[in-house]
Amino acid sequence: RQGTVIITGASSGLGLATAKALAETGKWHIIMACRDFLKTEKAAKSVGMAKENYTIMHLDLASLESVRQFVDNFKRSGRPLDVLVCNAAVYQPTAKEPSFTADGFELSVGTNHLGHFLLSRLLLDDMKESDFPSKRLIIVGSITGMKNKKYEYVGRERTAKGQSRGLARAPRRAEWAKQLFHDRRWRFRRAKAYKDSKVCNMLTMQEFHRRYHEETGITFASLYPGCIATTGLFREHIPLFRLLFPPFQKFITKGFVSEEEAGKRLAQVVSDPSLTKSGVYWSWNKDSASFVNQLSEEASDAEKARKVWEISEKLVGLR
Ligand code: NDP
């Protein structure tokens, strides 16, 4: 049978390119889990995806209620779930003030991490039940998350007065665990918020692996697809940055990959029979060959992963 894969944020960039690459094989039915139907429909058409190869289902990761509704809708569809790709993300490089999710969490961590955390926890049983030969849960990571050095938090919420309160921030690594909650010195750092969310993504993938790989046989993996400097991720950046970033990545750092190439890479992590190793973080070398990359000390800290898991469970209402 065709495999069923859910891809969040399949309306543009990496998610769309991956959906396209998988649809072209004819072996996959793609559930495009997106917040904007019309945009997603247009996007699917624009890359030539055949109607029978995809279904668009509404999901707004910035609302835990929407995540729950999406899961209900998916379950009602009666489809098996073979692979889940947590790909969607927001990045607010120029925001002066934080924005919040429907549940009052800082938007980057709320969307990129907490929304996906709830989604994957609620869909894990469906994946367990699938009879697909290689079931996978993939959380898209980033190299930026690996350079996250100093401060940590995993979300914040509004107080009754409408002010925000840090749930987790610590000036030194060792104190991170102690200060996870109620640290009033927390302040919004726009690039940091995205990096934190990506560290959470990578820690979550590893914690999934430790807790569920042996029991379920599911492959849990993360990846850095390369610098896809042309995607919508940089839509909120200043125009000069958006103009110069792609050529800078192409000619100076030489880290640039096209959306098409990045989509092929993520599609490999979804379906390549040789990429079944669990608990790993994939990268690609200059010849586009995949290899298991080392995570930074912080992004592979097992104790931190456990903490992020437990706190996230509380924040999304799983305990
Ligand atoms: P895009 O902005 O093109 O894609 C992001 C996707 O996320 C869009 O489909 C967007 O939907 C969706 N999204 C954002 N917020 C929500 C939400 N609340 N609910 C549902 N969907 C949402 O960026 P990329 O393709 O570049 O990013 C994809 C992934 O790749 C991210 O995880 C990013 O961190 C990662 N990545 C990207 C790199 C790059 O260089 N671009 C490098 C390394 C990692 P909508 O269309 O409605 O806005």
Weakest mean pLDDT among 4-13, 14-23, 151-160, 301-310 = 151-160
Compute the distance from residue 308 Cα to the ligand 1 centre, in Å.
22
Q: Return the exposure string of 110-127: e unless at least 16 CB atoms fall within 10 Å of the residue's CB, then b.
A: bbbbbbbbbbbbbbbebb
ipTM of the prediction: 0.99
Which atom, in ligand 1's list, is nearest to the CA of 235?
2
User: Does residue 64's CB lie within 6 angstroms of at least one atom of ligand 1?
Assistant: no
- Cα–Cα distances (Å) from 178 to 148, 184, 197, 302, 315, in that order, read 19, 14, 19, 16, 17
In the predicted structure, residue 55 carries a pLDDT above the cut 90: yes
Are the CB atoms for 33 and 71 separated by under 8 Å?
no
Overall average pLDDT of the 241-253 stretch: 84
In the predicted structure, residue 57 carries a pLDDT above the cut 50: yes
> What pLDDT score was predicted for residue 103?
85
> What pLDDT score was predicted for residue 145?
56
| Burial of residue 316 (number of CB atoms within 10 Å: 0-12, 13-18, 19+) | buried
CA distance 189 to 114: 18
> What pLDDT score was predicted for residue 23?
98
CA angle, 200 then 195 then 136, to 5°: 40
Active site residues per annotation: 194
CA angle, 152 then 203 then 71, to 5°: 110
Mutate to test the pocket of ligand 1, among 31, 35, 242 (most ligand atoms within 8 A of CB): 35
> What pLDDT score was predicted for residue 252?
79
Overall average pLDDT of the 109-113 stretch: 91
SS3 of the chain: helix, strand, coil, percent, to 5: 45, 15, 40
> What pLDDT score was predicted for residue 148?
45
Compute the distance from residue 287 Cα to the ligand 1 centre, in Å.
25
Which atom, in ligand 1's list, is nearest to the CA of 15?
25
Q: What does residue 4 show for φ and ψ, rounded to 5 degrees?
A: -110, 125
What amino acid is encoded at 236 in this protein?
E
> What pLDDT score was predicted for residue 261?
95
User: Does residue 32's CB lie within 6 angstroms of at least one atom of ligand 1?
Assistant: no
Structure tokens at 31: 């559930």
> What pLDDT score was predicted for residue 98?
77
CA distance 28 to 202: 26
Which atom, in ligand 1's list, is nearest to the CA of 231?
3
> What pLDDT score was predicted for residue 59?
98
CA distance 258 to 244: 15
| Burial of residue 138 (number of CB atoms within 10 Å: 0-12, 13-18, 19+) | buried
- For ligand 1, atom 21, name the residue with the nearest CA: 9
Q: Give the rounded percent of residues in the chain with a pLDDT score beyond 70.
A: 86
Confidence band for 16, pLDDT divided at 50, 70 and 90 = very high
User: Does residue 60's CB lie within 6 angstroms of at least one atom of ligand 1?
Assistant: yes
Compute the distance from residue 86 Cα to the ligand 1 centre, in Å.
10
Please, what's the largest Cα pairwise distance for the chain?
Answer: 54
> What pLDDT score was predicted for residue 105?
81
Confidence band for 101, pLDDT divided at 50, 70 and 90 = confident
User: Does residue 18's CB lie within 6 angstroms of at least one atom of ligand 1?
Assistant: no
CA distance 66 to 303: 30
pTM for the full model? 0.90
Per-residue pLDDT tens over the stretch 263-278: 999 999 999 999 999 9
> What pLDDT score was predicted for residue 86?
98
Confidence band for 137, pLDDT divided at 50, 70 and 90 = very high
- Cα–Cα distances (Å) from 317 to 69, 207, 288, in that order, read 15, 18, 41
Q: Return the exposure string of 284-296: e unless at least 16 CB atoms fall within 10 Å of the residue's CB, then b.
A: beeeeebeebebb
Per-residue pLDDT tens over the stretch 155-213: 444 444 433 333 333 333 223 333 332 333 455 667 777 888 888 899 999 999 999 99
> What pLDDT score was predicted for residue 119?
98
Mutate to test the pocket of ligand 1, among 120, 199, 224, 231 (most ligand atoms within 8 A of CB): 231
Are the CB atoms for 28 and 22 separated by under 8 Å?
yes
Weakest mean pLDDT among 37-46, 137-146, 150-159, 207-216 = 150-159
Compute the distance from residue 215 Cα to the ligand 1 centre, in Å.
31
Q: Give the rounded percent of residues in the chain with a pLDDT score beyond 90.
A: 57
CA distance 196 to 149: 10
Strand-strand pairing, 164-166 and 219-223: unpaired
Higher pLDDT, 228 or 13: 13
Are the CB atoms for 227 and 255 separated by under 8 Å?
yes
> What pLDDT score was predicted for residue 66?
98
> What pLDDT score was predicted for residue 170?
30
Which atom, in ligand 1's list, is nearest to the CA of 43?
46
Which atom, in ligand 1's list, is nearest to the CA of 9?
9
In the predicted structure, residue 95 carries a pLDDT above the cut 60: yes
> What pLDDT score was predicted for residue 147?
52
> What pLDDT score was predicted for residue 134?
96
User: Does residue 87's CB lie within 6 angstroms of at least one atom of ligand 1?
Assistant: yes
Mean residue pLDDT across the chain: 85
User: Does residue 228's CB lie within 6 angstroms of at least one atom of ligand 1?
Assistant: yes
Confidence band for 144, pLDDT divided at 50, 70 and 90 = low
